Amino acid sequence: MQRVTNRPAWAIGVAMTMCCTATLALGRQATPSPEWAAAARAELARQATMPDTPGTGRFPAIKEEVAFPPDYVVYHPADLGELGSPKLGLYLFGNGGCLNDGASSRIHLLEIASHGYLAIARGRIRSGPGATVRRTTTTGAKGLMTALDWALAQNNDPASPYHGHIDPTAVAASGYSCGGLQALQVAADRRIKALVIMNSGLINEGSKVVPSANLPKARLNDIHTPTFYILGGESDIAYEHGMDDFARINHVPVVVGSLLGVGHGGTQWQLNGGKAAAAVVAWLNWQLRGDMRSAKLFVGKDCGLCVDPAWRLEKKGVD
């Protein structure tokens, strides 16, 4: 069902996830307090005025809409000619609220792209710089696979600017909040080589709020790749569910990193995506490119994230 709103999709996504979790936990619909609503409005106003950033990687990044049914926002190095021999990895991203605002995590995605990745988010630019469309709808996990098919076709198309620039063996699925559930829903696809689940986790009781959240815990058995959960501490409404996922996954390497005290929004709206984006880049570089320098953030008793007081790290099958 479509709904029209003048609020950025990030706000809707958080509100939807909050209500979903509260409904399951309390048996009733939750209404945000006036204080929460005021704080959310102030934060959203700040986010809407934030300029796009080029990221901290070797390749300054930009975002653009791609008019391919369904629509996508694509994040990539601004000058593909500067890539040289390295090829772009693919980072398929599910949006917060499972909505079709492909700019709702733009700071995070620009940072990822600046390190030599093609990041693809479903929808159009509905918030922040360049936003022209306000109508939002929910999306399904199938859109992540359609994005993968599109990117691989572009890699093989001599007329495409991406021709020959993409590494089809370096594919990660990721997502924030409800979008993280979409990434888990497509985890069985053998083309995916790594997972990043941000502020998310399967809900034991299922969900009737958004279809992509209605997944049994047994779907965790579909995961066949190393998996990195990023949570926002115990104040993150997804914390319990993400930690439960971690406890149940024993057949693939899995890491859960909790950024203490940042809550459900994580650090995606901090400068260049904050500590979460930096950790995601390291995970991708390790899992998709075999970069052992990046592996040092995760491997060993004194790993980089292990000794960083901002993180609380747990891992299985990694060391």
Residue 32 pLDDT: 64
Nearest partner of 232 among 267, 197, 196, judged by Cα: 267
Residue 213 pLDDT: 59
For strands 135-136 and 166-176, give the pairing: unpaired
Domains and CATH numbers, the chain: 3-316 (3.40.50.1820)
How far is the C-alpha of 21 from the C-alpha of 272, rounded, in Å? 29
Residue 122 pLDDT: 92
pTM over 0.85: yes
Residue 245 pLDDT: 97
Judge contact between 223 and 249, C-beta under 8 A: yes
How far is the C-alpha of 282 from the C-alpha of 284, rounded, in Å? 5
Mean pLDDT by 10 residues, the chain (319 residues): 34 41 35 75 82 96 84 95 92 94 96 98 91 79 94 96 96 97 96 98 66 78 98 96 97 98 94 97 98 98 97 97
Q: What residues does 111 pair with on adjacent strands?
A: none
Separation in Å, CA 137 to CA 70, 98, 292: 12, 8, 41
Tokens for 138?
């929910």
Number of Cβ atoms within 10 Å of the Cβ of 240: 16
